[in-house]
Amino acid sequence: MKRIAIGGNIDFMRDGMFPGYAKAYVNEDYIAAVEAAGAAPIVLPVVHSRRLVREQLECTDGLILSGGWDVDPLRFGEEPHEKLGETLPERDAHDLWLIEMALDLKLPIFGICRGIQILNVALGGTLYQDMSEKEGPRVRHWQGAHPDQATHTVETAEGSLMRSILGKEHVTNSFHHMAIKELAPSLFATAIAKDGTIEAVEYKESFPPVYAVQWHPEMMHRKDGAMLALFRCLIEWDS
């Protein structure tokens, strides 16, 4: 059975006996989606050296970049926007090392929400720090409650992995206020929202696959077979 790494997160207790105390975690839906797709999930806590990140990945068969904190805009050469959310330098560093090492080890990569954003930054792209920076009319990209509910449409690119899994159009959920602005040179956009927001990317000429989505398929995989198929692609790419 393949072992799929899930990049972990850090949270801080707001109350209780130890306010401010840090804990490592990922949301349960990531674990459930990997299990349902037929692999063993391995949660990788945030560590603080490139060497340890390589050790984390060498025993796995693929990587999921999970959601979480906003990406620090200093990572792509900008000062913080007034609507930027909380950032965490340790998480940024860990994810960037994960991407570097996974590419070096030729592991498949699947980025989710923050995952598409940090992948784009790692490869030389930039982000809208808040969707209010994007000109023109916008669809709602933060739906609020009901995480497994699909709320807006994405259109996929012909010949892409997304087209093969989702068809020409698919309806996804949406929980983000950052988004891709300038696409990294080594990526191409493979799904777009009706307002022009980039919703999925793939790595050019990549094998094994490197792909990412702006929505949260782990929240939808129980009801939508295409969302589960996004996880299976990570596991079955060489079969």
pLDDT at 168: 98
Which pTM does this prediction carry?
0.97
Residues taking part in catalysis: 113, 216, 218
pLDDT at 13: 85
Mean pLDDT to the nearest integer, 173-178: 97
Percent of the chain with pLDDT over 90: 90
* DSSP per position, 94-107: HHHHHHHHHHHTT-
Q: Give the confidence band of 239 by pLDDT, cuts at 50, 70, 90.
A: low
* Region of poorest pLDDT, from 15-24, 57-66, 201-210: 15-24
Mean pLDDT to the nearest integer, 189-194: 98
Find out whether 109 and 116 touch, Cβ atoms under 8 Å. no
Between residues 238 and 96, which one has the greater pLDDT? 96
Reported as a single tens digit per residue, the pLDDT across 67-103 is 999 999 999 999 999 999 999 999 999 999 999 999 9
pLDDT at 152 over 90: yes
User: CB-based burial of residue 30 (10 Å sphere; 0-12 exposed, 13-18 middle, 19+ buried)?
Assistant: buried
Between residues 18 and 38, which one has the greater pLDDT? 38
pLDDT at 166: 98
Q: Give the confidence band of 157 by pLDDT, cuts at 50, 70, 90.
A: very high
Q: At 172, is the secondary structure helix, strand, or coil?
A: strand
Q: Give the confidence band of 179 by pLDDT, cuts at 50, 70, 90.
A: very high
Which residues have CB under 8 Å from 92's CB, separation 6+?
Answer: 69, 71, 72, 75, 118
Structurally, at CATH architecture level, domain 3-236 sits in 3-Layer(aba) Sandwich (3.40)
Mutual orientation of helices 28-37 and 225-236 as an angle, nearest 10°? 70
Using alpha carbons only, how large is the chain's radius of gyration in Å?
17
Paired residues of 191 in beta bridges: 156, 200
- Name the average pLDDT for the chain: 96
Rounded Cα distance between 75 and 78, Å, is 8
Domain residue limits, the chain? 3-236
Count of positions (residues) in the chain: 239
Mean pLDDT to the nearest integer, 46-65: 97
Side chain identity at 91, as an amino acid letter?
Answer: R
Rounded Cα distance between 83 and 99, Å, is 27
Q: Give the confidence band of 19 by pLDDT, cuts at 50, 70, 90.
A: confident
Q: Which residues of 169-194 are buried (b: 16+ CB within 10 A; e: fewer)?
A: ebebbbbbbbbbbebbebbebbbbbe
